[in-house]
Amino acid sequence: MIKPFRILDWWLNRKRRSTPRPGTARGVLLISSGGLGDTVLFAHVAGRFVRLAEKDEPVTVALRSDAMKMAFLLPAGVRGLGVDFDRLRRDLGYRRRVTDDIFKAHYRLVVHTDYLRHPDLDEALVAAAQAPEAVAMEPRPWPKYDARLGQNRRLYGRLYDSGDPRLDKVVRWSRFADWLSGAEESPPPVALLPGERLPPAETAEAADDPFVVMQPFSAVRQKQSPPALYRRLIESLPSATRVVITGTRSDLDANGEFKTLLDLPGVTFDDRVFENLVPMLRGARLVVSVDTALMHLAAAVGAPTLCLASAAYVGEIVPYDPAITPPNARFVHHSMPCEGCLGDCVLPAENGMFPCVAALDEDQILAAAADILAASGETE
């Protein structure tokens, strides 16, 4: 059965093709429909895509509505446009309003920056734009949608072959941007944002009052290490070290077993939004996080960061490719024959964790945390 939104798209786009728009096409629309963490990573390469704009031409980045929480990391002057993709699928009125607005914007150039694309969601924005030029990468293979993605090739004037499916995101984006601009392939950027674009660091109350930030929560519970590991970490810290556990209140409520950590001396909980967390992250002696958006943000703003990673995104996201890894970021993961599964784990969980997470070496984690603390103390 044909989905109602596909019928709506066919009718609207047929109508748009015969609808004149005033003036000359102007502006660049970049589509980046990944989540919060992907948006942090995209911020490192956004400037390369912005160079595609002509003089004084506006640049808009279409983001998932939840990822708009990281839009503050985009280059100055770039506008973020939030799109609720779940609502785009189920609410025909919303779908029409969003796609009508994109059509009326009359963009000169649309660049779909995603390797993983959905033919009925983010690519619907490309179809609605009816831009004189639209470009993208060859899409990631996706058996469920390969036929539809193949049909949508007609939306683009050019498609870039970005290489192996398992390739670091930032490296892939960098190569794509260089191809678009016609520049020689240049080294990808180190995943560290310029300090002048960031607010100043939050300082400790006294020189002997350092603080450590921990983010133990993930939307995928199997990526979380147990509270006992964080207890060991906290108890291993030098005396007088304050610990701030961060996340949302819903994270804490959904993971009640972590609440016992708040009973430890000097441990507090902070649920500030990402933008307001940046000064604290920049002032922390150490940030320990599961491989989630907060980890990418901490590394990007220069915080001494220790990532407790699954093996699910080896080769594509974490650990970072050596070419983009900043000196302030360190990753601990357990290699597996099945690594790079992108979270589609085929192995039974171990104590509620992915096997690669359950196999993380706690002594190695504690040693890495101690090394980072010692190094960050020396640089103060």
**Tens digit of pLDDT for each residue in 154-209?**
999 999 999 999 999 999 999 999 999 998 889 999 999 998 889 999 876 544 57
Residue 286 lies in a domain: yes
Same domain, 111 and 215: no
Q: What is the layout of strands, in order, in the sheet containing 158-160?
A: 79-83, 59-64, 28-32, 109-112, 133-137, 158-160
Same domain, 80 and 218: no
Residue 51 lies in a domain: yes
41, 67, 87 from 82: Cα distances, Å: 17, 8, 12
Same domain, 255 and 347: yes
CB 111 within 8 A of CB 137: no
The Cα 320–Cα 336 span in angstroms is: 17
Single pTM value for the model: 0.96
What is the structure's pLDDT at 206?
45
Same domain, 174 and 256: no
Residue 195 lies in a domain: no
Query: What domain range is 118 assigned to?
Result: 4-17+24-181
What is the structure's pLDDT at 295?
98
- CATH number for 128: 3.40.50.2000
Neighbouring-strand partners of residue 306: 288, 330
Same domain, 226 and 144: no
Same domain, 113 and 49: yes
The Cα 312–Cα 316 span in angstroms is: 9
The Cα 220–Cα 349 span in angstroms is: 12
Ranges of the chain whose pLDDT falls below 70: 204-208, 378-380
Alpha helices in 91-139 (DSSP H): 92-105, 122-129
Residue 188 lies in a domain: no
Q: What's the number of domains the chain is made of?
A: 2
Structure tokens at 319: 């650990």
Q: Are strands 59-64 and 79-83 parallel, antiparallel or unpaired?
A: parallel
Q: Which of 152, 181, 210 is the last residue of a domain?
A: 181
Same domain, 229 and 84: no
Same domain, 164 and 222: no
Same domain, 218 and 173: no
Same domain, 116 and 66: yes
Residue 193 lies in a domain: no
Same domain, 300 and 235: yes
